Structures are given as structure tokens and as C-alpha cells.
Amino acid sequence: MDAQLLTFIFVGLSFALYIGIAIWSRAGSTAEFYVAGGHVHPIANGMATAADWMSAASFISMAGIIAFAGYDASVYLMGWTGGYVLLALLLAPYLRKFGQFTVPDFIGERYYSRAARIVAVVCLIVVSFTYIAGQMRGVGVVFSRFLEMPIEWGVIVGMGVVFFYAVLGGMKGITYTQVAQYCVLIFAYMVPAIFISILMTGNPIPQLGLGSNVAGETISVLNKLDGALVDLGFSAYTSAVKSKIDIAAITLALMAGTAGLPHVIVRFFTVPKVSDARRSAGYALVFIALLYTTAPAVGAFARLNFIDSVHEKPYAEAPQWVKSWESIGLIAWLDKNEDGVIQYGSGTPFEGRADFVDGQGQNGERLVSNTPTDNANEISVDRDIMVLANPEIAQLPGWVIALVAAGGVAAALSTAAGLLLVISTAISHDLLKKTFRPQITEKAELMAARGAATVAIIIAGYLGINPPGFVAQVVALAFGLAAASLFPAILMGIFFKSINREGAVAGMISGLAFTLSYIIYFKSPWFGAVNDASHWFLGVSPEGIGTLGMVLNFVIAIGVSRFTAPTPVAVRAMIDDIRMPVSKTST
């Protein structure tokens, strides 16, 4: 069987598995819909948390950005993994002991304010919709290539699957679906990585293969890649291009953003006891480490294989994967010197992203409508394709290609489902039940949650079809927004009894407004702002601006709290109770 038929089979079977689990674990109450009834085993919750957290950005895009950014992409590895440790140690156990359903629940109760709850819901929705755009984009990329349908239709199919198990099963269905999705995605990620490591270095362990010599040569993988890139006019793979301040800002924004992500935090409400929250965090970190320690090797192998496959190769003899990805617009070649040979080097061949028009050039290249640049580079590659194309580049069997496609879909759908759930929960529980309609029945609240999830899926699909960047970039923006808005409010809510409602509300609004405005200014087409280091405030990129937004949040929250009424005694007692150590049997 060819790779496309195998892909249909693998993806179809995975969808059938997810839908079957959703039917089996259908939520029958708000507790099951919101937090799976609070009875998930720590190991299962650890796997579900890993799948929830390792999104399309981790599976599809992270190794791609490592492949093209090299050392600078280490910010994603350090920020995302470091942030999870921060969440596990500083926030998760305390929030589990608080014992409610959502992050706005905690903020509303801790800051004794309906306004604080509403602001938290707004922050949550902005963060979640920004994040989910990257997930739906990842689904579209996978479907467009391997099932040969337009990206738009790929997003729509993904919306349909998520709608079924997220709306039907709620957190209960999502949890057990994510356990299955973790198994699919980690197997799909590791199998080709092991194959390629063996082919390139003879070492079956990718993490060790990255530091090994290339098979049959006396030069290491990284040294060979450094030399190849320098020869092509790029910076060395292992050298830094970004400024130190921007690297520090992006890393901290990703760390704090991870600790403030509501769809990850809510996972710790699903276990029976506080001690189980800590155990879940430990298991999840192990499960996450399997992929994150492999990603640098996958990125390096992919870049080296890509250079060997396309540079100075006649287009007529180019591998089939080049033309397959070119046919859906994610690779573009413009024969500038009209010699029929692909030239790969530093710089981009087009002003902006390549826009294809009907027809072919005299040497077979797809024609593009925008203006070529003056540099010698002739090929443009969407970095989101590198993990998906890696098995094809390395000429692995068709079943491995199909497995990677299924894994990419699993990674994107698992996180999309978690995000949709926290959006629907925030609307039905925090806005309706706890704010505007406290008398609402449980049945009506459950219907409202499902209705909110349906609307959220439609909006998410639109954002997936019209994303503001490639997958990892979009996700990085979401983390920055979470770092600037929710993380400071949660952290200060646990450890700073003097922060009152006025301070918390002012801090969240200012942090979110500053960070969102900065991102919109540099990332949206409305302002035409030049997005490079010479125009950034203090040299901090939009991906790292969440750090400055977070600092602004802390400063304003502390300042406002000093000049307004102190925190009530009852709230201070609640904080003391949350922080009080509990026995192993405590819930």
C-alpha cells in the first residue's frame, strides 16, 4: 500500500478510537464535564497532561523551528520545559487544594470580586483562542499534505472530530482521549527519530546520535551542519543570532506562560488528592521529556537531510516530497538564474510568503505572483513541514509517514480539545453560574457549556484557516499573553496576601492590554509595522514581550494594592489554608 492509503487508514483508525472513547466516557454531570469527576488516576492524568501540553507546536513546529533557527530555538526548549517545572512546584498543588473547577474560580474567590473573575475570563479567552489558532493550523497542514485536501478543509475535518468528543465527553471524554493521543503522538515522534538516527549516525538513540559522528565520516552531525550552513551563507547552526535580552525575555515569557495556561492548570483539578496532583506533575514531566529531549536531534537531522536533498539538485530530479509539498503551497521554488537547478542559501526568494498562480515556468517550477528578492536563494520552505516531511526526506517506509501524520493530528487535536473545554467552562461556569445566573440548574449549565464549546470550535476553525504566523510562533504569542495576565494574578494570589482585588484587576488589565497591543502592532497587517529588532521596545520581540507585560502586571498590582483597602481577614485565612501542608489522605 502507498503512503496516502496508509495515512487514511492510520488517521481513520485513530479518529475511530477517539470517538469511541468519547462515547464510552460521556459526561453526565457538570463535575464530569469540567474536571472528569475528580477521579482520574495520576498516571493517566500525567499522560493526558503531556498530550494536552504537547501541542502541534511541540510535535509539528518545534523541531522545524530548531532546524532553521538552531541555537536560538533553544528558548522554546528551555521556556516550555522550565515553565512546566514552575507550574508543578509553585502552583498546581495549591490550586488543587483550593478545590474548584477553573482558574477564574480561583481568581474570583481569592480576590473576592466579580470583576476579577470577569477579567480573568477575558484573559483566558484571549489566551486560549490565540493558542488554538496554532493547533487548528497544524491540523490543516497535516490534512492538506497527507490526505491531499486544501488546508481549509483539513481544519474543518479537525473541527468536526474535536466537536464530537469535546462537546459530548467534556473533561471526562477529553482526559481518556488524550491518554490515547499521547500514546499515538509519542510513538509517531520516536519511531522516525530512531530510524533517522540509525541511518545518519548508526546510533539508535536520537539524543546520543545528535552528538555522534555522521555514519561513515569522521565529523560530528553538528560540525557538519555548521560547515554546510556557513558555506551556504547562513550563520553557524550552533551560534546565536538573537540578542541576549530577547533570548532571556522569550524564555521567561514561555516559562511564566506555561505556568499560567488555564487548560494545563485545570488538569490538576481532575485528580482525587493534592498528593496526586504532585504525582501527576512528575509523571507528566517524564512523558514530556521523551519528546523534548528528542526534538533537537530531529531538527538537526532534518536540516542536514534537507540540504543534501535539494541544494544544487536539478528540479527535474528533485525528490517527490519537494513537489508534493510544493503542490499545496508549503514549498516554493523560483528559478532565478533559469538553469533548472535548485539553489539553496541564506535569505528568502520572495517578498513575504510565496503566493502561487496557475502555470509552470520553463524548468517546471510553480509560478509565484510576488516579487523575488536579490539574494541567490531560490527555495522557500514553511518550517511547519519539517517533522512531517522528515520521514519522506529520509526515504522511510510508507507506514512511518502515515504514523507521523496520525501523530501530528493527535498532538493538535489533544490541545485544541483542552483549550475548547476551558473556554466553554469559563463561559458556562464562571460567567453564567458564578456571575450572571447563579440560579441556573445543573442541566442548563451543562447545555450552556456544550453550546459555548460549539461556538468556540467555529471561531477556532476560522483562526486556524487565517493564523497570524506559523504554529510555534502563534503558540509563543499565546504564552506571552498568559504570562502577562494570568500568571502574576495566580502567583500573587497564593504567595502575597497583601494583593487585593483592585490591584489584581488593574494588574491583569494592564499586562494584557500592553502585551496584546504590542503583538497586534507588530504582527497584524493593519499597522504595517516593521517587525525587526531595530523597532522593538528595548530589543524585545513580540514573542518575548510577555515578560515586560508580566513585570508591568506585578508592579501595578503591588502599587495599587498599597493605596487601596487591605485584603479581608477571611481571604487571608483562605490563603493560609491553601498553603498549609496536608496529609496523604487529604483531598
pLDDT computed for residue 548 by the predictor: 96
Cβ–Cβ < 8 Å for 390, 340? no
Domains, in order of start, for the chain: 3-302+393-466 (1.10.4160.10)
Instruction: Round to the nearest angstrom and report the end-to-end CA distance of the chain.
Output: 52
pLDDT band at 528; cut points 50, 70, 90: low
Which among 26, 158, 174, 22 is positioned nearest to 457, based on CA atoms?
Answer: 158
Report pLDDT digits (tens) over 358-392.
677 767 777 777 777 878 788 888 777 888 888 88
More confident residue, 560 or 91: 560
- 149 pLDDT above the threshold of 90: no
Report pLDDT digits (tens) over 467-480.
655 455 567 778 88
Give the whole-angstrom CA distance, residue 333 versus residue 345. 12
* DSSP secondary structure letters along 99-139: --S-HHHHHHHHTT-HHHHHHHHHHHHHHHHHHHHHHHHHH
Provide the sign of the torsion angle of the four alpha carbons 244, 246, 248, 254, taken in this order: negative
> Measured between alpha carbons, how far is residue 160 from residues 23, 138, 154, 169, 542 in Å?
15, 15, 10, 14, 32
Residue 155 contacts by C-beta under 8 Å, 6 or more apart in sequence? 136, 137, 139, 140, 143, 461, 464, 465
Cβ–Cβ < 8 Å for 170, 421? yes
Residue 70 contacts by C-beta under 8 Å, 6 or more apart in sequence? 229, 235, 236, 237, 238, 239
135: cell is 493547533
Report pLDDT digits (tens) over 428-479.
777 777 777 778 787 787 788 778 878 888 887 887 777 655 455 567 778 8
Which among 307, 359, 315 is positioned nearest to 336, based on CA atoms?
Answer: 315
238: cell is 550552533
16-30, 338-352, 380-394: least confidently modelled range? 16-30
Give the whole-angstrom CA distance, residue 111 versus residue 355. 50
Query: In the Cβ-directed half-sphere of 506, how many Cα atoms lie within 13 Å?
Result: 17
Give the whole-angstrom CA distance, residue 436 versus residue 434. 7
pLDDT band at 147; cut points 50, 70, 90: low
Report pLDDT digits (tens) over 196-233.
999 899 999 999 999 899 988 889 999 999 999 999 88
* Percentage of the chain modeled with pLDDT above 70: 88
183: cell is 500514546
Query: In the Cβ-directed half-sphere of 63, how many Cα atoms lie within 13 Å?
Result: 31
pLDDT computed for residue 585 by the predictor: 47
Burial class (CB in 10 A: 0-12, 13-18, 19+), 243: middle
- 171 pLDDT above the threshold of 70: no
Segment 165-185 mean pLDDT = 73
Provide the sign of the torsion angle of the four alpha carbons 41, 44, 49, 50, taken in this order: positive
53-62, 166-175, 277-286, 339-348: least confidently modelled range? 166-175
Around Cβ 339, how many Cβ atoms within 10 Å? 12
Give the whole-angstrom CA distance, residue 215 versus residue 197. 10
* DSSP secondary structure letters along 391-449: HHHTT--HHHHHHHHHHHHHHHHHHHHHHHHHHHHIIIIIIIIIII-TT--HHHHHHHH
Mean pLDDT for all residues in the chain = 81
Which among 108, 187, 177 is positioned nearest to 435, based on CA atoms?
Answer: 108
Give the whole-angstrom CA distance, residue 34 versus residue 101. 6
Report pLDDT digits (tens) over 268-285.
777 777 777 778 888 888
134-143, 214-223, 561-570: least confidently modelled range? 134-143
Cβ–Cβ < 8 Å for 486, 127? yes
Task: Assign residue 329 a region (left: φ > 0; alpha: ψ between -120 and 50; beta: otherwise).
Answer: left
C-alpha triplet 487, 489, 494: angle, nearest 5°: 100
Residue 456 contacts by C-beta under 8 Å, 6 or more apart in sequence? 129, 132, 420, 423, 424
pLDDT computed for residue 561 by the predictor: 96
Report pLDDT digits (tens) over 67-126.
888 888 888 888 888 887 888 778 877 887 877 667 888 898 899 988 998 999 888 888
- 40 pLDDT above the threshold of 60: yes
pLDDT computed for residue 512 by the predictor: 92
559: cell is 502599587
Note the helical H segments in 202-294: 206-209, 221-231, 244-259, 262-265, 274-292
Around Cβ 196, how many Cβ atoms within 10 Å? 24
Give the whole-angstrom CA distance, residue 501 versus residue 116. 7
Q: Find cell 510535535 and name the residue.
A: 59
